[in-house]
Homo-oligomer: A and B are copies of this chain.
Amino acid sequence: MGGTVQAKTAKIQDVARIAGVSTATVSRALSNPDLVAESTRKAVMDAVEESGYRINHAARNLRRQRSGSILALVPNLANPFFSQILAGLSSVLSPAGYGLLIADTQTDNNPQERLRSYILNGLADGIVIFDGHLPEKQMLPPQHPPIVLACEWVDFDLPSVRVDNAKGAQIAIQHLYDNGHRRIGHITGPLGNVLADSRLNGMKNTLEQLGLAVRKEWIFNGDYSMDSGTFAAKQWLALDDRPTAVFCASDEMATGFMGALQHAGIDVPNDVSVVGFDNIEVVEHLTPALTTIRQPRRLIGQHAGQMVMNMIDDGVMSCASEIIPVELIERKSVVAPKT
* A residues at B contact (CB < 8 Å): 5, 9, 52, 54-59, 61-62, 65, 67, 69, 76-80, 82-84, 86-87, 90-91, 94, 99-104, 107-108, 117, 120-123, 142, 226, 229-230, 255-256, 258-260, 262-263, 281-282, 284-287, 289, 298
Contacts and interface: CB of A to CB of B under 8 A. Distances in A.
A226 B83 contact: no
A10 to B, nearest CB: 10
Identical chains in the assembly:
2
A298 B91 contact: no
A176 to B, nearest CB: 22
Given A76-B87, A78-B83, A259-B287, 4 more contacts: A58-B65, A58-B67, A77-B90, A94-B103
Contacts of A82: 83
A5 B142 CA distance: 10
B91 A107 contact: yes
Give the one of A65, A99, A122 with max B CB within 10 A.
A99
A256 B284 CA distance: 9
A104 B77 contact: no
A336 B286 CA distance: 23
A65 B9 CA distance: 12
